[in-house]
C-alpha cells in the first residue's frame, strides 16, 4: 500500500505487517511497526548537469522560470547494457538526451569475432571500453540493477520502471530494494540466454574448444574433427545447424543430447527434449553430405589430451569414445522477452516484433539486439540499438519543432507537422 511522497521518495508500508498492532498501546506499536516495515521506493533522479542547454528539445521541456516541466523524467530508459543497449546509449548521449541504462552486467569471457576493429579482442575489454565511451556523456546514467517490471502510466504517457536488487549489508541479505525511474521512451535490449548441455568438463573448454555460434566461431572448426550436440530436431533445426559447418570442415558428427531420465520429452531443460529422431529423408541427406549422425547415444564427457592441453575427444553415455577437436552445441535459447510481454508487445516466435526503425507494436517502446531477431551478432545488435536511438531523437525533435511552430502561429496547429500518435 503506497501512502505518499516524502522528500522525493515514495513511502510504502507492507499492509500485511500492520495486523500485528498491539491493542493496549496501539500508538506505540503502530509507530514501531511503521519504522520497521516502511521502506522508501527511491525515484532515480535525472542528472543535475549535462552537456548542452541551448537546444530546442530541452527548451520545450522547460517552464518559463527555467525549471523542468517533467521533473526527473528521463527521455529514454534502456534495459540491457549489451551491444544493442550500449550502442543506443552512446548515440543518445551525443544527442544530449537524458538517458538511463539498466544492466545486470553478466558478460562473457570469450573473444569476439566479426566485429570490425575488435577482431579477437576479449569481450570483457570491448564491453568495458563501450561503457567508458558511453559514460563520458553526462546525460547518460548507468544503473546496475535488474529491471523487474515496466508499467505504462496512461495519464502521464510515461513508463514507470521498477528495479530490484538484494541489499547486501550482511544484516538484511534477503531484503529486496526497489527503485523507480520514469521515462518517455523505452528501449528493451535484454538479449537472449543460451541453455548449455550437461557434459563433464564442459565449462573448462567453454570459449576454448567449445562454442555455440557458427557464424562467430565456426572458423575454429577449419579442417578439424567437429562434434555437435543438439537437443532435438524440431523443424530439422539440428541438421540445418550441422550443415552450416560444412564450409569449414567435412568431418562432422551430430549427437542428439537426450533428455535425462525423468525429463519430460517436451521440456526445455538443459539436456534438451522433444523429437530427436531424423526422418528417413533427413538421414539420407546427412549421409549424402557426409554428416555422421548418432541418434541414440549422448555425449557425457569431454576427454582431454592432457599433454597437449586440448580436447582429445568425447565419451558417450554407452562409454564409446569419439575423437574430436572441437564441440559446438545447439540446445535451446531463452529469449529475454518478459518486459516486452508485460507491455503487450507483439512477438514473432518469441522474438519481439519491430518495424524498420526498431519500434515495437507498442508506441514509444523499441526493442533492439538479439531480442528481436534470430540473427545473433554483436555488430547487428549494435546497429539496431543505433537505429532505435536515431528514431527516438528524430521523434523528440519533430515534437519540439511542432510545438515551436504551433506557438509561432499563435496556437493555430500546423496539421502537416503532426507528431507521432501515442
Ligand X SMILES: Cc1cc2nc3c(=O)[nH]c(=O)nc-3n(C[C@H](O)[C@H](O)[C@H](O)COP(=O)(O)OP(=O)(O)OC[C@H]3O[C@@H](n4cnc5c(N)ncnc54)[C@H](O)[C@@H]3O)c2cc1C
Options 32-40, 174-182, 310-318, 363-371: segment touching ligand X (CB under 6 A): 363-371
Helices (H) and strands (E) counted in the chain, each on its own, are: 10, 22
For the bound state, the minimum distance from the C-beta of residue 348 to ligand X, rounded and expressed in Å, comes to 16
Toward ligand X, which CB reaches closer, 96 or 187?
A: 187
Cβ(317)–Cβ(214) below 8 Å? no
- Cα gap 147→193, rounded to integer Å: 16
Q: Is 399 helix (H, G, I), strand (E, B) or coil?
A: helix
- Cα gap 150→163, rounded to integer Å: 9
- Cα gap 315→328, rounded to integer Å: 15
Q: Does 194 bind ligand X (CB under 6 A)?
A: yes
Q: Does 273 bind ligand X (CB under 6 A)?
A: no
Toward ligand X, which CB reaches closer, 191 or 313?
A: 191
Toward ligand X, which CB reaches closer, 11 or 347?
A: 347
Residue from the set 30, 135, 357, 379 that interacts with ligand X by CB under 6 A: 379
Toward ligand X, which CB reaches closer, 85 or 259?
A: 85
Q: Does 190 bind ligand X (CB under 6 A)?
A: yes
Toward ligand X, which CB reaches closer, 245 or 400?
A: 245
Q: Does 118 bind ligand X (CB under 6 A)?
A: no
Toward ligand X, which CB reaches closer, 5 or 194?
A: 194
Task: Please list every residue from 57 through 116 that binds ligand X, using CB under 6 A.
Answer: 79-85, 102-104, 106, 108, 110, 112-115
Q: Does 160 bind ligand X (CB under 6 A)?
A: no
Residue from the set 377, 387, 392, 393 that interacts with ligand X by CB under 6 A: 377
Q: Does 181 bind ligand X (CB under 6 A)?
A: no
Which cell numbers in the block locate residue 241?
545447424
Q: Does 216 bind ligand X (CB under 6 A)?
A: yes
- Cα gap 201→222, rounded to integer Å: 23
- CB atoms under 10 Å from CB of 218, counted, come to 19
Question: Which residues, other chains included, contact 85 with Cβ-Cβ below 8 Å and sequence gap of 6+?
Answer: 78, 79, 101, 103, 187, 189, 368, 369, 385
Options 128-136, 221-229, 370-378, 394-402: segment touching ligand X (CB under 6 A): 370-378
CA distances from 159 to 78, 117, 142, 268 (A): 11, 36, 17, 32
List, in sequence order, the alpha helices (H) in 200-295.
Answer: 202-205, 214-217, 237-244, 280-289
Q: Does 18 bind ligand X (CB under 6 A)?
A: no
Q: Does 197 bind ligand X (CB under 6 A)?
A: no
Residue from the set 77, 161, 369, 399 that interacts with ligand X by CB under 6 A: 369
Which cell numbers in the block locate residue 268?
526445455
Closest CA to 85 of 338, 395, 368, 336: 368
Q: Does 183 bind ligand X (CB under 6 A)?
A: no
Q: Does 189 bind ligand X (CB under 6 A)?
A: yes
- Cα gap 104→223, rounded to integer Å: 39
- Cα gap 324→302, rounded to integer Å: 9
- Cα gap 42→72, rounded to integer Å: 12
For the bound state, the minimum distance from the C-beta of residue 381 to ligand X, rounded and expressed in Å, comes to 3
Q: Does 381 bind ligand X (CB under 6 A)?
A: yes
Q: Does 393 bind ligand X (CB under 6 A)?
A: no
Q: Which residues bind ligand X (CB under 6 A)?
A: 79-85, 102-104, 106, 108, 110, 112-115, 146-147, 189-191, 194, 213, 216, 336, 369-371, 376-379, 381
Amino acid at each position: 500500500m503506497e501512502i505518499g511522497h516524502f522528500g522525493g521518495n515514495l513511502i510504502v508500508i507492507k499492509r500485511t505487517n500492520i495486523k500485528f498492532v498491539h491493542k493496549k498501546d496501539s500508538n506505540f506499536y503502530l509507530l514501531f511497526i511503521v519504522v520497521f516495515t516502511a521502506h522508501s521506493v527511491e525515484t532515480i533522479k535525472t542528472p543535475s548537469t549535462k552537456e548542452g542547454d541551448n537546444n530546442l528539445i530541452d527548451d520545450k521541456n522547460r517552464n518559463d522560470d527555467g525549471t523542468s516541466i517533467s521533473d526527473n523524467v528521463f527521455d529514454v530508459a534502456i534495459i540491457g547494457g549489451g551491444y544493442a543497449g550500449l550502442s543506443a546509449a552512446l548515440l543518445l548521449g551525443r544527442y544530449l538526451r537524458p538517458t538511463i541504462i539498466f544492466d545486470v552486467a553478466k558478460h562473457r569471457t570469450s573473444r569476439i569475432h566479426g566485429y570490425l576493429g575488435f577482431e579477437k579482442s576479449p569481450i570483457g575489454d570491448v564491453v568495458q571500453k563501450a561503457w567508458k565511451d558511453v559514460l563520458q556523456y553526462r546525460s547518460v546514467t548507468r544503473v546496475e540493477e535488474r529491471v523487474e517490471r515496466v508499467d505504462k502510466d496512461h495519464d502521464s504517457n510515461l513508463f514507470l520502471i521498477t528495479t530490484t536488487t538484494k541489499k547486501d549489508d550482511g544484516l538484511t541479505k534477503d531484503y529486496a530494494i526497489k527503485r523507480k525511474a520514469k521515462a518517455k521512451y523505452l528501449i528493451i535490449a535484454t538479449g537472449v540466454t543460451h541453455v548449455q548441455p550437461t557434459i563433464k568438463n564442459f565449462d573448462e573448454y567453454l570459449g576454448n574448444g567449445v562454442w555455440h555460434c557458427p557464424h562467430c566461431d565456426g572458423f575454429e572448426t577449419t579442417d578439424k574433427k567437429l562434434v555437435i550436440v543438439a537437443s532435438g530436431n524440431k523443424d530439422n533445426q539440428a541438421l540445418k545447424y550441422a550443415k552450416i559447418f560444412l564450409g569449414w570442415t567435412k568431418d562432422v558428427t551430430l549427437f542428439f543430447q537426450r533428455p535425462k531420465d525423468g525429463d519430460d520429452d517436451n521440456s526445455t531443460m538443459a539436456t534438451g527434449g522433444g523429437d530427436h529422431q531424423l526422418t528417413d529423408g533427413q538421414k539420407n541427406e546427412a549421409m549424402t553430405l557426409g554428416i555422421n549422425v548418432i541418434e541414440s547415444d549422448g555425449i557425457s564427457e569431454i576427454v582431454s589430451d592432457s599433454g597437449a592441453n586440448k580436447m582429445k575427444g568425447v565419451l558417450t553415455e554407452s562409454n564409446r569414445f569419439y575423437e574430436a577437436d572441437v564441440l559446438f552445441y545447439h540446445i535451446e535459447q531463452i529469449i529475454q522477452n518478459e518486459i516486452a510481454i508485460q507491455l503487450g508487445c507483439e512477438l514473432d516466435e518469441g522474438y519481439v516484433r519491430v518495424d524498420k526503425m526498431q519500434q515495437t507494436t507498442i508506441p514509444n517502446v523499441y526493442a533492439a539486439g538479439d531480442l528481436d531477431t534470430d540473427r545473433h551478432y554483436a555488430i547487428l545488435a549494435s546497429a539496431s540499438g543505433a537505429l532505435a536511438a536515431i528514431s527516438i531523437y528524430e521523434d523528440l525533435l519533430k515534437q519540439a519543432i511542432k510545438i515551436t511552430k504551433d506557438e509561432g502561429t499563435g496556437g493555430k496547429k500546423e496539421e502537416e507537422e503532426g507528431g507521432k500518435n501515442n
